[in-house]
Amino acid sequence: MAYEVHQELTVLFDKLLGAESRLLYKQIGRKLPHTIRFNPLKGDIKDQQALFLEQGFRFKPLEEREDIFQMTFQPYPIGRSLSHFLGHIYVQDIASMIPALVLNPQPGDWVLDMSAAPGSKTTLMAAMMENRGVILANDVVRKRLKALGKNIERMSLCNTLLYKWYGEQFGNTFFECFDKVLLDPACSGLGTLHKNPEILSWWTPAHCERLADSQKNLLISAVKTLKPGGELVYSTCTLTPVENEEIIDFALNEFPLEVEEIALPGIKTWPGLDGFDGKPFHPDLAKTIRLYPIDRITEGFYVAKLRKTGSTKAPRQERQKEISHIPFISYRTSPVKKYLDYLCKTFEIPAAVFKDYVYLMQKDIVFTRKDILDFPVYGAPLQIGLPLARPMDYGAKLNTGGCHLFGHLAGKRVVELPDLSTLEKFANRQPLDIFPQESGQYIVKYKNCMIGYGIVDEGRLKSQFPRGDWPFRLTGEWNGEEGEEAGAG
């Protein structure tokens, strides 16, 4: 479908890239190669890679970036693979990974992801933090929040709080609370023309100005939440200076901030603009970076890294909310103690592994890192941590997420599936003629990868694997879309 290009957009591209601006239009409709990352929270990455290869997928590491992989062949869509369902992989454009890599959160940090959905950056940061510290993941759109919550569970994030607040609320409520803040606000999306060409039909300078007003207000709030000495990354997937350099230029003039250098080995970047269309910007904006989709097979992006060098004006007392009381209990406190004792006895999981967490008794036993005890929780989070097990009259029923995080510690009641065809049956909830000596719950694994759990009854292993939206096909020919070189075209 042809789209009429706004004349001022053509002028903008010409000013940014000169003769090379024509290359931007060549990206429209182009299918980029899929890039993925594996999930260290789910176990050894080499074991995850081996399982993905067994399903027929092929990939290679990017040059100088052994943590990012480019797909070279996929026998069917990655999103329908068992590896994706298990949370072993996240499909994410290289440019989208950069903000989290630049922010570089560490284990124990308190991190705010102000516009987090659908979760690509949140889940990457949690992996970098080794599931320690606290991440507050926020979004304001309910449909996007649903996807964020699912990805938090799929990728096994137990250090994360899920919120539905307007971003502007955080500055006064969580004043100077966070070590790191990531702000990736809604933008005009000009870096994604390859997959969203319809942007050309509605893009206008006036629309960008309205977005910039919102982005500026969100950045004000984000700066207020940051501790003195803390770091903030601002990023967008657009190319307009009004949504990028002008926003950072404003912040540098209003707040005690300094721009930090960004180093990304193996990824080509352009320096941020120190002026545009006759308007000068702060000279340090040259330390921010731009990615243009003409340089490598990736989206267009803008990233700025800021450090807060001093305190900002505190909000009036009446604007601050009271800290919420969340009834967390320790691993040795009733009633959670008896359920954890049951799991430890049933699976021979060392009790000491549960001491680093606190628990909530809900429909499921929910767990999160005990780092949360020092964190000021305001309002009512939509989701805290992860479900571990379901309380039952006889004890507790371990769920799939609990198996993924703690199954490798079990000393008994572990079934290892012998081959890929048996794994396919288990993933599709078919009973298996496997004969452990005792009936009851079993953790199920395949070649060191934790898969889920099952129940042995009457000599058969009955799969308790979560229902997918489609049958998993791990062997033979797949009946849907034919195999393809990933992203070719």
The domain tally of the chain equals 2
Tokens representing 72 are 């070279």
In this predicted structure, what is the pLDDT of residue 427? 97
Q: Nearest Cα to 405, choosing from 441, 333, 354, 468?
A: 354
* Burial annotation 129-166 (CB, 10 A radius, 16+ → b, else e): bebbbbbbbbbbeeebbeebbebbbbbbbbbbbbbbbe
Residue with tokens 């990728």: 155
The answer on 428 and 356 residing in a single domain is: yes
Q: Tell me what pLDDT residue 482 has.
A: 44
Q: Which residues of the chain have pLDDT under 50?
A: 479-483, 485-489
Residues 111 and 212 in one domain: yes
Q: Tell me, yes or no, whether 388 and 436 share the same domain.
A: yes
- pLDDT averaged over every residue in the chain: 92
SS3 sequence of 101-158: HHHCCCCCCEEEECCCCCCHHHHHHHHHCCCCCEEEEECCCHHHHHHHHHHHHHCCCC
Asked whether residue 72 is assigned to any structural domain, the reply reads: no
Instruction: Choose one of 308, 324, 349: the last residue of a domain.
Output: 308
CA distance linking residue 242 with residue 20, whole number of Å: 21
**Structural domain harbouring 444:** 336-463
Residue 158 appears among annotated catalytic residues: no
User: Are both 119 and 263 inside the same structural domain?
Assistant: yes
Q: Same structural domain for residues 348 and 258?
A: no
Please indicate, yes or no, whether residues 250 and 131 belong to a single structural domain of this protein: yes
pLDDT at 485: 44
Q: Which of 158, 237, 403, 449 is catalytic?
A: 237
Q: Is residue 56 part of a domain?
A: no
158 and 110: one domain?
yes
* 472 inside domain: no
> Given this model, what pLDDT does residue 23 score?
81
Query: Are both 282 and 365 inside the same structural domain?
Result: no
pLDDT, position 193: 87
Question: What CATH number does the domain containing 419 carry?
Answer: 3.10.450.720
Pair of tokens at residue 339: 């359920």
Assigned domain for 317 exists: no
Q: Are residues 395 and 450 in the same domain?
A: yes
- Residues 211 and 291 both lie in one domain: yes
Query: What's the CA gap between 177 and 381, in Å, rounded?
Result: 17
Q: What is the pLDDT of residues 474-487, one digit of tens each?
A: 876 654 444 454 43
The verdict on 111 and 255 lying in the same domain is: yes
Q: Is 191 inside any structural domain?
A: yes
276 and 386 part of one domain? no
Question: Which residue, of 271, 289, 308, is where some domain finishes?
Answer: 308
Q: What is the pLDDT of residue 21?
A: 84
CATH number for the domain spanning 111: value is 3.40.50.150
Rounded to an integer, what is the distance from CA 418 to the centroid of its chain?
32
Q: What angle do CA 342, 347, 353 make, to 5 degrees?
A: 80
**pTM for the whole structure:** 0.94
CA distance 125 to 215: 22
Could you tell me if residue 190 is inside a domain? yes
Asked whether residue 416 is domain-assigned, the answer is yes
Q: Tell me whether residue 473 is in a domain.
A: no
Per-residue model confidence (pLDDT) at position 319? 61
Residue 477 CA from chain centroid, whole number = 32
